Amino acid sequence: MNANGNKSHLTIALAGNPNAGKTTLFNSLTGLNQKVANYPGVTVERKEGIWDLGDRSATLIDLPGLYSLDATSLDEQIARDVITGKVESVPRPDVIVSVVDATNLERNLYLTTQLFEYGVPVVVALTMIDVFEKRKHEIDIGKLSTGLGVPVIAVNAKADRGKSELADKVDELAGATPKVPHELNGGSPEGDNARIFARYNFISNAVQDSVKHNDKREHRVSEKIDRVLTHKVFGLAILVLILLTVFQAIFSWATLPMDLLDKGFGALGDGVRASMPPGILTDLLVDGIIAGVGGVLVFLPQILLLFLFISILEDTGYLARAAFLLDKLMSRVGLHGKAFLPLMSSFACAIPGIMATRTIENKRDRFATILIAPFMSCSARLPVYTLMIGAFFAGQTVFGFVSLGAVLMLAMYTLGITVALIVAFILKRTLLKAPPPPFIMELPPYRMPSIRTVFQNMITRAWLFVKRAGTVILAISIILWALMYFPRSVPPSVAGSQQGQVALNNEQRTTNNEQPAPLPEGEQLRNSFAGRLGHTIEPVIRPLGFDWKIGVALIASFAAREVLVSTLSIIYNVGKDENEQSETLISAIRDAKDDNGKLVWTPLTALTLMVFFVLAMQCMSTVAIVRRETNSWSWTLFMVGYMTGLAYLASFLTYQGGRMLGFQ
Amino acid sequence: MTLAELARGESRTVLSVRGENMITRRLMEMGVIPGVAVRMVKSAPFGDPLEINVRGYSLALRRNEAESVELEQVADNE
């Protein structure tokens, strides 16, 4: 009977409904011994850990939270493939542990009855038993086990109850051939609905004999809380307060650690530069690699904070309520209620916002949300807006008392939101067209969040970001560095020499004790590949009122929008450490003239540039995270393409329209 | 009458779930099947979606999804 009795290492799958206590049990069984990756080719998360069964060990696979194995979602497909051993590098499970919430027995058991059909032994782990008993319900576990035909073990992950019993039972069942209860046997010919009916009938019979409910009204604690939290007035007010807190945290609280990281990497770069001989290697290390790594890590405070909030909101059960409150609004443009929080977060930064779309189960809804998230004016656009407003619209008012700067700022935010909604509306009717996915969603009972789960979730997100997006961001920042660094502008004394000698030149310098006066950075940038590219694209951006210098700044600020400010500073020779409020930079921009001696910048150019930055995909980190979250370069490139196209079109209309109206 | 028309706080037994599509299958898998009692808890602030109680837990669904659930003529006494 026990064919696998001699197997020294087992594979166990952990299945269960969302909110059934599966994650808590998984953490408790595997400890810190876990790893998270993706299933090959898809974005479904693959979580595994090592579970010590006593005399042998097992790989515990945490399947995605599921209500059913029959339907067509990606999560359900993957779960089915794991159970049937179809996933590459994952052995077919020896036993399935089905996690069942005792307080919501019937619906939780539905998935369990489906698991019976796969020919793998099933053990039911009954969670939330403490809550169940506190409500003075009674359950006869022996009877339930007989009724279901599989072992049932009550577990309490926090109190370590039932853990060794569960391990023993799994160890014992490995290799056994289970039999399917005849009520469920051999799929009903009358169709899906009849099969669902048969499963619930089987469950009702098993539960009827083993459970005595004390008083049905006891279940309604969450409904009482919801009298306030999903109230027509208070519910919405509280939701706004919570969203404001989250927004405040990632917009404002995160800036302190972000500044520290920024300064830390700046200091590290300076230190390295001081202790190494000047040359290409040092420049690559400092301006390419250290700056690139710093550019990756600087996002961590925002990601950690956002996921702290999301994990708490999700674990307590509030996130489902937020979706419930907002679904009507979001569904008008074809989005799910759950899209609200990721979009809101994107006003601080699209990176954590796009990562947060994982709470949206339907792929098309999720992609639509990802594709419009970068239109929300993020914090990196503020320096651009501030510089332009400071240079051309400062001190002006509308109606005599409203600052023109504030009006323009508001207009930029509104433009982003409007375009996002229109794009979502169009996408949901074209590329991502599908019948509206059902909203049908459980509102789980309110629970205290587990601190451990919350922190583990935060760390996992942060690590996934560094590992996956970090590499792309680093690569792009090195490429951009090289575009601006090469070819080196040779010093006048060796003018005319071949480019190949430049490196040698640098080497030679190191032998001198006196460092030669560096060439003006502006000169270098103008002659670099990026500078030449600026000239190349000038005919294209001319109709927007931009000259090649602005073109260079556009190319450089693909690294991140705020880089526009430092690039303009370099190209106008005012030093790269000027910030967006610098008077020198502002006057340099105002006075900049083109080759014919005409002023480059007018208020109309500034407005056009702002419009361009609202809509253009000027952020390599967003590109990297979209690539990771969609697992597709074509969607990523589509996004870069259509955003840049829209930005160009809107800027064109702004500039040419403005000129037709008589503005300069 | 359908589930979409059920008054707040009222409870009735499901008579049938119309149609065999993604929505009805999902509803049935979540436990909304003929013979089971459902209670209307509330509707969201903008009138949609709805929150119902079925088999002791809270389920949210849109109004047009609730329209495929036909209820018994007589109200349940709780």
Q: Which residues have C-beta within 8 Å of that of residue A549, sequence separation ≥ 6?
A: A534, A568, A571, A572, A592, A600
- Please tell me whether residue A203 adopts helix, strand or coil conformation: helix
What SS3 state is found at A73? coil
Nearest in space to A351 (alpha carbons), one of A254, A269, A233, A483: A254
pLDDT band at A659 (very low <50, low <70, confident <90, very high): very high
Question: Between β-strands B50-54 and A402-403, what pairing exists: parallel, antiparallel or unpaired?
Answer: unpaired
Assess contact for A465 and A303: CB atoms under 8 A: yes
Nearest CA in chain A to B66: A440
Q: How far is B59 from chain A (nearest CA, A)?
A: 5
Contacts of A236 in chain B (CB under 8 A): 45
> pLDDT of A376-390, one tens digit each?
988 888 888 888 988
pTM for the predicted model, two decimal places? 0.80
Q: Name the CATH superfamily, with its identifier, for domain A9-214.
A: P-loop containing nucleotide triphosphate hydrolases (3.40.50.300)
Q: Given pLDDT bands bounded at 50, 70 and 90, which one contains residue A219?
A: low
Is residue A376 a contact partner of residue A343, using CB atoms and an 8 Å limit? yes
Q: What is the mean pLDDT of residues A255-264?
A: 87
Buried b (16+ CB within 10 A) or exposed e, A282-311: bbebbbbbbbbbbbbbbbbbbbbbbbbbbb
Task: Say whether B33 and A71 touch across the interface (CB within 8 A).
Answer: no
Residue B36's nearest CA partner among B20, B59, B19 is: B59
Q: Is the pLDDT of residue A55 over 50?
A: yes
Task: Summarize pLDDT for A496-509 with one digit per residue, the tens.
Answer: 333 333 333 444 44
Query: To the nearest whole angstrom, how far is the Cα of A109 from the nearest Cα of chain B?
Result: 10
The tokens 């599908």 sit on which residue?
Answer: A434
Which of B3, B25, B36, B76 to mutate to probe the A interface, most A CBs <10 Å? B25
For B18, name the nearest residue in chain A, comparing CA atoms only.
A193
- A9-16 and A95-101: which strand pairing? parallel
Q: How many CB atoms lie within 10 A of CB A83?
A: 24
Given this model, what pLDDT does residue A106 score?
93
> Any residues with CB less than 8 A from the CB of A461 and at least 6 apart, and which?
A303, A304, A307, A355
- Looking at residues A321-342, what average pLDDT do you find? 87
Q: Does B60 touch chain A (CB under 8 A)?
A: yes
β-bridge mates for residue B14, sequence order: B71
Contacts of B27 in chain A (CB under 8 A): 438, 440
Distance separating alpha carbons of residues A186 and A195, to the nearest angstrom: 10
Enumerate residues 6+ apart whose C-beta is below 8 A from B37.
Answer: B11, B12, B13, B14, B54, B76
Output phi, psi for A409, to 5 deg.
-60, -50
User: Does residue B59 belong to the interface with chain A, where contact is any CB pair within 8 Å?
Assistant: yes
pLDDT > 70: percent of chain A: 90
Which amino acid appears at position A520 of this protein?
Answer: P
- The answer to whether the peptide bond before residue A257 is cis (omega within 30 degrees of 0) is no
pLDDT at position A616 over 70: yes
Which of B20, B55, B58 is opposite residue A106, by nearest beta carbon? B55
Predicted complex: ipTM over 0.90: yes
Nearest-angstrom CA–CA distance, A176 and A160: 27
Distance, in angstroms, between B75 CA and closest chain A CA? 18
A326 CB burial (10 A radius; 0-12, 13-18, 19+): buried
Closest CA to A553 of A565, A538, A541: A565
Dist CA A193 CA A187 (whole Å): 11
Query: What's the rounded Cα separation, in Å, for the pair B14 and A179?
Result: 32
Count of residues for chain A?
A: 664
Q: Which residues of A touch B31 (CB under 8 A)?
A: 106-107, 110, 200
User: Which residues of chain B lie closer than 8 angstroms to A440, CB-CB?
Assistant: 23, 26-27, 30, 59-62, 65
Residue A336, pLDDT score: 84
Structural tokens at position A192: 């899906």
Query: In sequence order, what are the beta bridge partners of A37?
Result: A46
* The two three-digit tokens of residue A462, written as one number: 């942060």
Closest-approach residue (CA) in chain B for A215: B56
Distance CA A388, CA A138 (A): 69
Per the prediction, chain A carries an average pLDDT of: 84
- Cβ within 8 Å, pair B33-A67: no
Chain A contact residues (CB < 8 Å to B): 67-68, 70-72, 103-104, 106-107, 110, 191-193, 196-197, 200, 216, 219, 222-223, 226, 230-233, 235-236, 320, 323-325, 327-329, 331, 435, 437-445
Note which residues in 5-44 of chain B have CB less than 8 A from chain A: 17, 20, 22-31, 33-34, 36, 41-42, 44
Q: How far apart (Å, rounded) are the C-alpha atoms in residues A586 and A606?
A: 12
Residue A119 region by backbone torsions, left for phi larger than 0, else alpha for psi between -120 and 50, else beta: left
Q: If DSSP codes are grouped into helix, strand and coil, which group holds residue A257? A: helix
Of B26, B45, B48, which has the smallest distance from its Cβ to A71's Cβ?
A: B26
- Structure tokens that stand for A188 in this block: 């009903």
Contacts A232 to B, Cβ<8 Å: 45
Helices (DSSP H) in A276-396: which residue ranges?
280-283, 291-297, 300-316, 318-331, 340-345, 350-355, 363-372, 382-392
Query: What are the Cα distances from residue A136, in Å, to A152, A157, A210, A494?
Result: 20, 20, 14, 91
Topology of the domain comprising B3-75: SH3 type barrels. (2.30.30)
- Domain spans of chain B? 3-75
One-letter amino acid for residue A408 of the chain: L
Classify each residue of A466-502 as buried b or exposed e, where b means 16 or more C-beta atoms within 10 Å of its C-beta: bebbbebbbebbbebbebbbeebbbeeeeeeeeeeeb
A156 forms beta bridges with: A161
Q: Where are the domains positioned within chain A?
A: 9-214, 234-386+431-478
Q: How far, in whole angstroms, is CA A1 from its chain's centroid?
A: 48
Q: Using the CB atoms, write b or e for A398-412: b if 16+ within 10 Å.
A: eeeeeebbebbbeeb
Q: What's the gap in Å between the CA of A246 and the closest CA on chain B?
A: 22
Query: Among A352-366, A403-417, A547-561, A562-576, which is the least confidently predicted range?
Result: A562-576
Contacts of A219 in chain B (CB under 8 A): 53, 56-57
Give residue A202's pLDDT: 93
How far apart are alpha carbons A545 and A602 in whole angstroms? 9
Nearest CA to A356 out of A343, A347, A365, A371 is that of: A343
Mutate to test the interface with A, among B55, B67, B76 (most CBs of A within 10 A): B55
Best residue of A68, A70, A135, A196 to probe chain B, by most B CBs closer than 10 Å: A196
CB A570 within 8 A of CB A526: no
How many CB atoms neighbour CB A392 within 10 A?
22
Q: Tokens for A597?
A: 């001696």
Other C-beta atoms closer than 10 Å to the C-beta of A88 total 8
Is the pLDDT at A644 greater than 90, yes or no?
Answer: yes
Mean per-residue pLDDT, A133-150: 87
Within 8 A of A197 by CB-CB distance, chain B residues are: 28, 33-34
- What would the pLDDT profile of A439-492 be if each residue is shown by its tens digit? 889 999 998 888 888 888 888 878 877 876 777 778 877 888 888 888 877 444
Closest CA to A524 of A532, A515, A535: A532
Residue range A501-518: mean pLDDT, rounded: 41
How many pairs of residues across A and B have Cβ atoms under 8 Å apart? 124
**Is the pLDDT assigned to residue A43 strictly greater than 80?**
no
Per residue in A520-578, pLDDT tens? Answer: 667 788 788 988 998 999 999 999 999 988 998 898 888 888 888 878 877 787 766 66
Distance CA A634, CA A431 (A): 13
Secondary structure (3-state) at A100: strand
Pairing of strands A122-127, A95-101: parallel
Phi-psi group of A533: left, alpha or beta (phi > 0 → left; psi -120 to 50 → alpha; rest → beta): alpha
- Answer yes or no: do B25 and A435 touch at CB < 8 A: no
Question: pLDDT tens digits for B25-77?
Answer: 889 999 999 999 999 999 999 898 999 999 989 999 999 999 999 999 887 76
Q: Coil, strand or helix: which one is A187? A: coil
Residue of B nearest to A103 (CA): B56
Looking at per-residue pLDDT, the higher value among A119 and A359 belongs to A119
pLDDT number for residue A493: 36
Choose, out of B18, B20, B24, B29, the residue to mutate when testing the contact with A (most A CBs < 10 Å): B29
Least confident stretch, A179-188, A254-263, A356-365? A179-188
Contact B29 A70 (CB under 8 A): yes
Residue A329: exposure state from Cβ atoms within 10 A (0-12, 13-18, ≥19): middle
Comparing CA positions, the residue from B59, B22, B49, B66 lying closest to residue A330 is B49
What residues of B are in contact with residue A72 (Cβ under 8 Å)?
22
Per-residue model confidence (pLDDT) at position A512: 43
DSSP string, A423-445: HHHHHTTTTT--SPPP--EEEPP
pLDDT tens track for A84-106: 988 888 899 999 999 999 989 99
**Facing residue for A328 by CB, picked from B22, B44, B59:** B44
Q: Determine the average pLDDT of the residues in A16-43.
A: 83
A328 contacts on B by Cβ (under 8 Å) = 44-49
Please check whether residue B66 touches A, CB under 8 A. no
Six token digits for residue A220: 């309604």
